[in-house]
Amino acid sequence: MRHPWARFLFLSVLCFLTGGIAFTTCVADVAAQTTKPTAPPAALPATELPAGWDEVDQRLVFLTVELSGVETSLNAIDKAIHVSGYQQSVKKKEAENYRKGNELMDRNGGGPVPWNQFYGRTAESFFYHPTRKSVYINPSPKPQRPPQLDYIYRANADNQQRAEAEAAAIGNHADQLLARKRQLEREQSALWCKIAVRALASRELIHKPLYVFEPQTPMHADEAQRQRTEFARAAFDFMRTIERAAEDTSEAVDGDQASAFKRLKETCTSARDRLAGALVHQPLLLKESQDNESNLAQFSKAAGQIQDCAQNVSDAARLANQSDADGDEIRKQQLRGQLQLNLIKFSEMALKADQEMSSLAKQWDIVPDTSKVVAPLEKSAAGPKPRAAAENSSIAPNSPGVKSADLIVQNKAHAPEAEQIVAEIKSKYPEAIGNAKEVTLVQYHDATEMKRHAGAPQAMSGSFSSQAVAGNGHGIMLYGISDNLPAGRYLVVYRVQDLTMPASQSDRQICFLDVCIRGKTAASAHPTGREFQAKQWTDVPVVANLRQSRILEYRLWPNDSDIALDRIYVLRLGASR
């Protein structure tokens, strides 16, 4: 059953705004620095981690450094507003509201907490595991300093002087100061979202086999096991949907935040409804779902809280904007506090849901079927085709062109082999080049830069990188490298080698070359044995026509073959004839 207490609590706060909910944290208060700060270090310090701590994700630390700088600027702007005569330039009631709003922020009376407390909660929720049995919130938190807190303070050392200089440059122009404050608050809330989503993404849930493959249905399974498998399928889909929605929101918050948060709410609501419907259709699970101590009940509770948090985030953002327009600073800051709280709570509940579902899968003996990758693909006689390329509004369907007589190669990535790569593609895969008259190499990546589930680096003859990565297996082998590309026509070229001795000259698919958007296959290639020669590298292109700017991630699946990857090249096709 749904547990509506979190949503009820949020609505209660909106009704009784003078109360507010303070953001709890396990981080000890840090006194303001009174000595001259030292220069920030060039990189994260390599220090021994305290007991129970994992290494904090460096991207999360970077975002927190950025957040600390934004808050320093906000403090300077607030101080300038206070001394600018703002109280004389607006209605007395509005000025009093503004003063009380600042006091509210000073004592954390329901407004947003400062960056060090936000970082402290995030770090402990996702990177502190004293028992090594849980990846979730500690049952008995204690005041402590998480790793990298001092580093962030030092990295922010020069921001105070810069922020005060910026505020001084604006002078006593109250309207300009208020406009700058609103801009900084938008940046601040965008960073709250990015930090919360990054904390969740650091756990790499999307790469867990449970979510990569379809669940396996054992032969001769009884009705109870069949119903467990069907619900697990729906639950895994829910987890994939939630993670993609979070990442999509993180990408969109630099623009229209209210719209981004509204889409998050709508996606989570729809996903939760589908999950609840799936449970209703498995009557043999009803008794287990009503046992509050069961993993199933705990998973369902976490799923409901995810939906509640998404709803709270959307409402808080919308109502905070309305309060700002009404000049009600107190109400705005309380709502922004709720926005901040529910963003991190959303990620915590997503991690909680994953923990409960992982335990449930083990309890129910649900295992992934590694022969069935979850991807938006349609099977055909020629092999899987990327349905997303035709259905996703960001990617246009692949269309063959005609072989061009000559081609201009622009080597912006400065790879010495650029012209050779283009020539080999033009010779072997002319339909990929089509009728483009110019090709630009915009990026390339060595295989050793990628994350690995299998394989190992090794020096190989004919490779352009110092070490290729060779391995085998049925699941994903290499992943985790991505590029943010503007709209246009691209070839993502995988330089691969079939290590079978001799190379298998057959129609068997040797590997799956996967180009993804938010973990979802957007374009792909399935080279067969006939495309390879023994001990020779082959450049295999994957065509991606982007209708808008997107982040593409590159992956390789060996399909039980012995395969090696040298480099991945990203080519942009220029104007057509």
**What pLDDT score was predicted for residue 285?**
92
Confidence band of 424 (pLDDT split at 50, 70, 90): very high
Q: Output the DSSP codes for 2-42.
A: --THHHHHHHHHHH-TTT-------BPP-PPP-SPPPPPPS
Residue 377 has pLDDT above 90, yes or no: no
368 with 397, same domain: the answer is no
Beta bridge partners of 446: 567
Highest mean pLDDT among 126-130, 187-191, 216-220: 187-191
Comparison of pLDDT for 183 and 39, the residue scoring more: 183
Confidence at 208, pLDDT banded by 50, 70, 90: confident
pLDDT at residue 19, rounded to an integer:
40
Looking at the structure, tell me whether residues 139 and 32 fall in a common domain.
Answer: yes
**Does residue 474 have a pLDDT over 50?**
yes
Q: Tell whether the model's pLDDT for residue 486 goes beyond 80.
A: yes
- Same domain (yes/no): 361, 390: no
254 with 331, same domain? Answer: yes
Pairing of strands 377-378, 438-446: unpaired
Is the domain of 414 the same as that of 295?
A: no
Is the pLDDT at 550 greater than 50? The verdict is yes
- Total tally of structural domains belonging to the chain: 2
Helix 159-170 and helix 58-83, axial crossing angle in degrees, nearest 10: 40
pLDDT score of 49 = 54
- On whether both 357 and 391 belong to a single domain, the answer is no
- Interval 69-94: pLDDT, tens: 888 888 888 888 877 655 444 444 44
More confident residue, 502 or 563: 563
Q: Which domain-ending residue is among 372, 389, 405?
A: 372
Residues 166 and 207 in one domain: yes
355 lies in the same domain as 492? no
Computed over every residue of the chain, the mean pLDDT equals 77
String of DSSP letters for 227-295: HHHHHHHHHHHHHHHHHHHHHHHHHHTTS-HHHHHHHHHHHHHHHHHHHHHHHHT-GGGHHHHT-TTSH
Q: Decide which of 177 and 318 is more confident.
A: 318
pLDDT at 1 over 70: no
335 and 412 assigned to the same domain: no
Domain final residue, candidates 348, 372, 396: 372
Which residue range forms the structural domain that includes residue 339? Answer: 5-372
For the segment 461-466, the average pLDDT, to the nearest whole number, is 91
Q: CB-based contacts of 562: which residues, under 8 Å, 6+ apart?
A: 470, 471, 472, 498, 499, 500
Q: Categorize the per-residue pLDDT at 322 as very low, low, confident or very high, splitting at 50, 70 and 90.
A: confident
Report residue 271 as tokens.
């996903």
Across 5-9, 32-36, 126-130, 428-432, the highest mean pLDDT is recorded for 428-432
Least confident of 227-231, 288-292, 387-391, 515-519: 387-391
Predicted pLDDT of residue 84: 67
pLDDT digits (tens, 9 = 90+) for 220-267: 778 899 999 999 999 999 999 999 899 889 988 988 898 899 999 999
Same domain, 339 and 403: no
Least confident window among 34-48, 169-183, 184-198, 394-408:
34-48
Residue 542 and residue 455 share a domain: yes
Residue 342 contacts residue 318 (beta carbons within 8 Å): no
pLDDT at 238: 93
Contact assessment for residue 478 and residue 515, using Cβ atoms and an 8 Å cutoff: no
Q: Is the peptide bond before 41 cis (omega within 30 degrees of 0)?
A: no
In this prediction, residue 557 carries a pLDDT of: 92
Amino acid 203: pLDDT = 77
Domain end, chosen from 372, 390, 410, is at 372
Q: Strand, helix or coil at 371?
A: strand
* pLDDT above 70 for 198: yes
Hey, is 434 helix, strand or coil? coil
pLDDT recorded at residue 46:
45
Q: Where are the beta strands (DSSP E) in 393-535?
A: 395-396, 408-411, 438-446, 451-452, 456-458, 468-471, 478-485, 488-498, 512-517, 520-525
Which one is predicted more confidently, 210 or 404?
Answer: 210
pLDDT per residue as tens digits for the range 93-105: 444 554 554 554 4
Residues for the chain: how many in total?
A: 577
386 plus 360 within the same structural domain: no
Split at pLDDT 50, 70, 90, the class of 132 is very low
CA distance 261 to 256: 9
pLDDT at residue number 130: 57
Burial 463-472 (b: 16+ CB within 10 A, else e): bbbeebbbbb
Q: What is the CATH number of the domain that holds 547?
A: 2.60.120.260
Between the CA of residue 47 and those of 37, 42, 140, 188, what are the distances in Å? 20, 14, 25, 29
Please, are residues 466 and 566 in contact by the beta-carbon 8 Å criterion? no
